Structure 1
């Protein structure tokens, strides 16, 4: 559905006053037809996608926080500073954000028209969604919303990942209303994004918790009570290795299979129905087959055959979800 961006670019070239709503609605109808449920669902998914993506990647003007010194894929906020490409977010123990003011910073803000320059220069009028692009501030600085910078970063990443996790369910309401080929491919992408959003959420929130030393007031960051780490499970053939940067894997550890076939075994906390997510590193080469078993009986299988745009394992963290009783 990212083709809507190219369509929107063309529409805006002819009419720069066209609204996002009108462009998206037109693209949806031309691409998927005029069924009211299809139009409403896809329009909503499209119009919400930007703010949700921004929430679980780089809110407050921090940009995407991706691996800028590598293949620009996957989260890696540590690469934003202390490298030859530039210093982007100035993250340190006491604060973060780039000071682009004319008074004390790079002077970048002075390039805007006077009305905008005055708005961005002042903390009183600079909008929160651009704040850390324009200013360097303490983690405890309070936004217009009343939240501190650090707590907003935590909340936004959790809210954004939760919202992205609902995409697949929304898309499933269109079964039978969209041709099978596009329905299946789009569903797979939404399911992948649901897992990727959690990977981003955990990586970035743990990074800022580590660098700031300020805990999440809701106790979520770094605490995953229902998560079972691979290195703690009963293993046959797996070896535990360190992962750097540490935020790319739970507890900075990963399990590597050193045989043709390896197994991990664990007991659930209690009887009942579980929504299970498996997180693994999908390497460029090969197509490993994974199988989930309950009491020795298989209930889910898949191949790790994605061709993610890089070969370094720490940026290919992938999640897949299944349901078992």
Structure 2
């Protein structure tokens, strides 16, 4: 999957935008729609959107390539007019574009009419929105694979007083150590990326609890995801399951999977049960798949006992990555 490499290539040497809290909340609100576009066509991540000099000295980008991506963002109802992209990417404000053979002016579907041209020669919103969403996906590409660890690192190190005021300086420092290899060595750019990663962590921790006690429905969801990814799966007996809800196999590897749909982070007991199931069924790996994440003790035990921990969306990818 070229997602990580594509974003790294695009983001190399680029300055992080100083995104306001309101605009970041807007990105989070449309996260699934934005990710859906890039997942549907990963080539959008690596296309050249940089400004170049055209015929006659006119500055131009690649309208034919950007048209499709910007149209996708509009079709996904990402509210392009709500973002202050001219603040983040002022370089677009002074770029003048002109139509050339085979490269028409940027046409978008802002008002659902294909016969209108949005580009007025100086408006940065179209290309600025592309830059902003690419930066957002770059952050998610760091956060998502490390989410269980980052959430626990933050939660353990944030300090709260008796009336609920929080001091997150220690938490930010702890998170920075974990993601240090993804950040610039020094300067404001690294600080902005760290701040936005902390925003992702806090938003994830504050998400409303999912529907509770789905029981067999959650197990079935996990089985469906694994089956779609090419795993052979079977459910264990409803009683006497010895700590595993699902047995999965693929590529000569086998997994004992404990599914936990709870309102609070899963503790060490579930990890211990998965370890017991791995031993009882004589399987290769123990897995705990949880809706609400894991306690610090559970993460520590899982690491030392080589138990895979994840949520339903990560389940198949984590097992395939073994």
Is TM > 0.5 for Structure 1 vs Structure 2? no
Which one has a larger percent helix, Structure 1 or Structure 2?
Answer: 2
TM-score (norm 2): 0.28
Higher Rg of the two aligned structures:
2
Which one has a larger percent strand, Structure 1 or Structure 2?
Answer: 1
